[in-house]
């Protein structure tokens, strides 16, 4: 697939604070790409630079090989679905969707056909004459999508479009968005702080933190082969443990030498080791590679979430078998369950569950949702 | 489930009652004020309008109003022209202020409000002193423009005195429009001018209607502007009402006032129809 949008060395500061730091990114034609990161990481700013609502301090934006850095938003072939929908309250549903077509001075017949097609696609036939302010959040969202797609843009930018919807509706809309994207076959650039949303919808995920791209890859790559502690922690749950690479496929963690599948590191190089909670098996203490004491057990429905203290480091284990708190257990990890990462500036900041609680997780989610 | 439902319903009702009791206590001074100084005077006006000088019920005052039709026509004409000029100047001004940086906005609004700290009458006198045949402007330029006493001078006075009432509601309205409206319009292919015409202007309609009302109503009923800047050659409906009361013809004065009020009420009602229903119309 050809490159459609390319960002070269983009930097942007607000009031002297760098939001994006010399970012290079290309977006291929017809792909569903997600910019994923925590609140304030620069993902929305990146999207706004592509949309033409912000100008980068440095760097260039290319569209289909042509530089568009200074092209104003209204001349760009990209359309946006805004976080707060931004429907025009003085126009009804039909006129909102027809708005970009009227600007192009298409004839009434053509407008009617295209608006009706869009209404069919977003399942809002019969809502033509309704005032947008009487619609529910989900319906407004559909109108916003229809309005953004009616003029057949090459790229659709979506800025946390599902952030204001409740969980059930959000799941439905995720599927719907993905199927719309596949049906019309254009590029979607999606911004979210929700890693689950990113993994389930995207062809490509771009993980951003502190104004820099941490990793670009398919959802599977990002999950299975995180590049650093930040990515490993942000995408799903992970235990990130200090380890030493003794040789290829041998890593020492907590004085036990584990077999693993990674190589290419220096002898005795300190590394970050990622072990997903679902890859740890609970076994009898004497059969375990490591032993520890259970400090907390939470029932999660599908599995139990078990926090185990192993030599002062708290691991999270997900197991379908119940373990009593304070019990001594052993753990067993397959070589495939161990992923080695080079040390980075994020080493030691994440992946320890000693201060873990669901509440903190939810709080930080709410913070992220408020970001605009 | 049902019991809980009823229980909570009862509680809400109780809370509502409590709140409305507190509200009515708080509202009492205002209601007293409104009755004493708004409702009661209105009844007095109605009473005088429908009685003759002996206190007998009569339609003669209302019937005599046809004599004042030309004066009313002139008042309306000047007020409409002044309002149109206020809108033509005020809208772009309000737009520019609303689009300026926040700290500049404060300065602009301050500058706009500054003349209003001076009494309206004094300002009108000052304009007269400036524009008079032997006034400041003519002596400065060493010319002999005859301005005071023309329609133009009266209209100028109205525009000068009432412009802030046009700018402020429009400014408030535009500055409340979310940034995403501008961005959405641009995103969908609307140029800067198109955005103002197709999106911002319709969305600021409630501000425009407030502004038009707040300029039109005092312009129709003004008497001092026409007296001072009209140089005694103009009589507007406000002057007529004033003259009736000054000369003791209370009944005719009350009749004209009543008719004016009704006409203004009708026009506001019509204008509110054009305003966005959600905005809740205009408070005059």
Q: How far apart are CA A98 and CA B169, in angstroms?
A: 30
**Spatial contact of A198 and A219, defined as CB atoms under 8 Å apart:** yes
Mutation for testing the B interface, residue in A44, A49, A50, A74 having most B CBs under 10 Å: A74
Give the model confidence (pLDDT) of B249-262 as tens digits. 888 899 999 998 89
Most A CBs within 10 Å, among B177, B181, B184, to test the A interface: B184
Closest Cα in chain B, distance from residue A74 (Å): 4
Distance CA B46, CA A56 (A): 67
Question: Considering only alpha carbons, which residue of chain B is nearest residue A156?
Answer: B187
Q: Could you tell me if B35 and B164 lie in one domain?
A: no
Asked if residue B207 and residue B162 are part of one domain, the reply reads: yes
Query: Looking at the domain assignment, is residue B146 inside a domain?
Result: yes
CB A178, CB A190: distance < 8 Å: no
CATH H-level superfamily of A229-365: Nucleic acid-binding proteins (2.40.50.140)
Name chain A contacts of B187, Cβ cutoff 8 Å.
Answer: 51-53, 73-74, 78-80, 148
Q: Is residue B186 part of a domain?
A: yes
* Residue pLDDT, tens place only, B129-164: 888 888 888 888 888 888 888 899 999 999 999 999
Do B266 and B188 lie in one domain? The reply is yes
C-alpha of B36 from chain center: 23
Q: How many C-alpha atoms does A165 have within 13 Å on its Cβ side?
A: 22
Taking an 8 Å Cβ-Cβ cutoff, which residues of chain B contact chain A? 178, 180-181, 183-191, 194, 198-199, 202-203, 205, 276, 278
Interface pTM, i.e. ipTM: 0.80
Residue B263 included in any domain: yes
Distance between B187 CA and the closest CA of chain A, angstroms = 5
Helix intervals (H) in chain A? 43-51, 93-103, 108-121, 137-149, 167-184, 195-201, 219-224, 229-234, 358-370
**Residue B189 is nearest to which of A88, A133, A151, comparing CB atoms?**
A151
> Do the domain assignments include residue B145?
yes
Q: Do B38 and B74 fall into the same domain?
A: no
* The pair of three-digit structure tokens given for residue A336, joined into one six-digit string: 């495939």
Question: Would you state the pLDDT for residue A237?
Answer: 87
Chain A hits for B174, CB-CB cut-off 8 Å, are none
Average pLDDT over residues A334-351: 88
Total domains in chain B come to: 2
Closest residue on chain B to A99 (Cα): B188
User: Domain with B85 in it: what CATH number?
Assistant: 1.10.3720.10
- CA–CA separation, A177 and A34 (whole Å): 13
| Domain assignment of residue B59, yes or no | no
Q: Do A74 and B186 touch (CB under 8 A)?
A: yes
Domain co-membership, B111 together with B210: yes
Tell me if B54 is assigned to some domain: no
Collapsed DSSP state (helix, strand, coil) of residue A314: strand
Give, in words, the CATH class of A3-224. alpha beta
Is B284 a domain residue?
Answer: no
Side by side, the strands of the sheet bearing A66-67 are A17-28, A3-14, A58-63, A66-67
Q: Average per-residue pLDDT in chain B?
A: 85
Residues B14 and B124 both lie in one domain: no
Q: Distance, in angstroms, between A134 CA and closest chain B CA?
A: 11
Same domain, B44 and B87: no
pLDDT at A15: 87
Angle, helix B151-176 to helix B102-113, in steps of 10 degrees: 150
A100-136 pLDDT, tens digit each: 999 999 999 999 999 999 999 999 999 999 999 999 9
Domain regions of chain A by residue span: 3-224, 229-365
Total-model pTM: 0.79
pLDDT digits (tens, 9 = 90+) for B157-186: 999 999 999 999 999 999 999 999 999 999
Tokens describing residue A9: 């060395």
Q: Is residue B274 in some structural domain?
A: yes
Task: Bin B245: left if φ > 0, else alpha if -120 < ψ < 50, else beta.
Answer: alpha
Tell me which residue range forms the domain holding B10.
1-49
């Amino acid at each position: 697939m050809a490159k459609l949008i390319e960002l070269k060395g983009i930097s942007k500061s607000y009031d002297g604070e760098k939001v994006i730091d010399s970012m290079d990114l290309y977006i291929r034609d017809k792909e569903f790409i997600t910019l994923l990161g925590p609140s304030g990481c620069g993902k929305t700013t990146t999207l706004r630079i592509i949309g033409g609502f912000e100008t980068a301090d440095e760097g260039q934006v290319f569209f289909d090989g042509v530089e568009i850095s200074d092209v104003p938003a209204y001349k760009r072939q990209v359309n946006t679905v805004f976080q707060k929908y931004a429907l025009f309250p003085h126009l009804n549903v039909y006129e909102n969707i027809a708005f970009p077509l009227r600007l192009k001075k298409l004839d009434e017949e053509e407008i009617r056909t295209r608006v009706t097609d869009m209404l069919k696609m977003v399942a809002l036939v019969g809502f033509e004459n309704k005032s947008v302010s009487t619609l529910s959040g989900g319906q407004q969202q559909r109108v916003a999508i229809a309005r953004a797609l009616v003029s057949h843009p090459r790229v659709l930018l979506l800025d946390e479009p599902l952030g204001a919807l409740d969980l059930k509706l959000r799941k439905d809309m995720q599927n719907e968005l993905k199927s719309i994207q596949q049906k019309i076959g254009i590029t979607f650039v999606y911004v979210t702080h929700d890693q689950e949303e990113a993994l389930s919808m995207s062809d490509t995920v771009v993980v951003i933190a502190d104004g820099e791209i941490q990793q670009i890859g398919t959802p599977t790559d990002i999950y299975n082969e995180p590049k650093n502690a930040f990515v490993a922690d942000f995408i799903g749950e992970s235990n990130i443990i200090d380890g030493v690479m003794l040789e290829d496929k041998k890593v020492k963690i907590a004085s036990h030498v584990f077999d693993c599948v990674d190589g290419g590191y220096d002898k005795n190089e300190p590394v970050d080791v990622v072990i997903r909670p679902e890859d740890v098996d609970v076994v009898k203490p004497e059969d375990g590679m490591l032993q520890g004491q259970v400090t907390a057990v939470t029932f999660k429905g599908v599995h139990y979430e078990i926090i185990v203290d192993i030599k002062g480091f708290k691991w999270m284990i997900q197991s379908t078998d119940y373990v009593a708190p304070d019990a001594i257990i052993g753990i067993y990890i397959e070589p495939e369950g161990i992923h080695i990462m080079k040390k980075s500036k994020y080493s030691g900041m994440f992946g320890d569950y000693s201060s873990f609680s669901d509440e903190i997780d939810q709080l930080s989610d709410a913070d992220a949702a408020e970001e605009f | 489930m049902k019991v809980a439902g009823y229980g909570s319903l009862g509680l809400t009702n109780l809370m509502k009652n409590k709140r409305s009791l507190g509200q009515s206590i708080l509202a009492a001074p205002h209601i007293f004020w409104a009755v004493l100084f708004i409702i009661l005077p209105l009844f007095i006006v109605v009473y005088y309008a429908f009685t003759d000088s002996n206190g007998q019920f009569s339609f003669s005052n209302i019937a005599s109003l046809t004599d004042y039709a030309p004066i009313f026509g002139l008042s309306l004409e000047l007020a409409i022209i002044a309002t149109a000029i206020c809108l033509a100047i005020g809208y772009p001004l309000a737009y520019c202020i609303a689009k300026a940086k926040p700290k500049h906005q404060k300065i602009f609004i301050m500058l706009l409000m500054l003349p209003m700290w001076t009494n309206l009458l004094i300002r009108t006198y000052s304009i007269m002193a400036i524009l008079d045949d032997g006034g400041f402007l003519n002596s400065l330029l060493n010319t002999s423009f005859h301005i005071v006493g023309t329609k133009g001078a009266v209209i100028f006075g109205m525009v000068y005195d009432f412009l802030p009432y046009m700018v402020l509601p429009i400014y408030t309205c535009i500055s409340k429009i979310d940034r995403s409206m501008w961005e959405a319009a641009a995103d969908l292919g609307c140029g800067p001018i198109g955005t103002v015409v197709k999106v911002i202007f319709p969305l600021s309609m409630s501000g425009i209607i407030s502004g038009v009302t707040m300029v039109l109503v005092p312009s129709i009923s003004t008497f001092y502007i026409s007296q001072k800047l009209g140089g005694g050659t103009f009589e507007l409906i406000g002057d007529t009402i004033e003259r009736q009361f000054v000369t003791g013809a209370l009944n005719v004065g009350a009749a004209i006032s009543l008719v004016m009020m009704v006409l203004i009420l009708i026009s506001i009602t019509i204008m509110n129809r054009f305003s966005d229903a959600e905005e809740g119309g205009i408070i005059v």
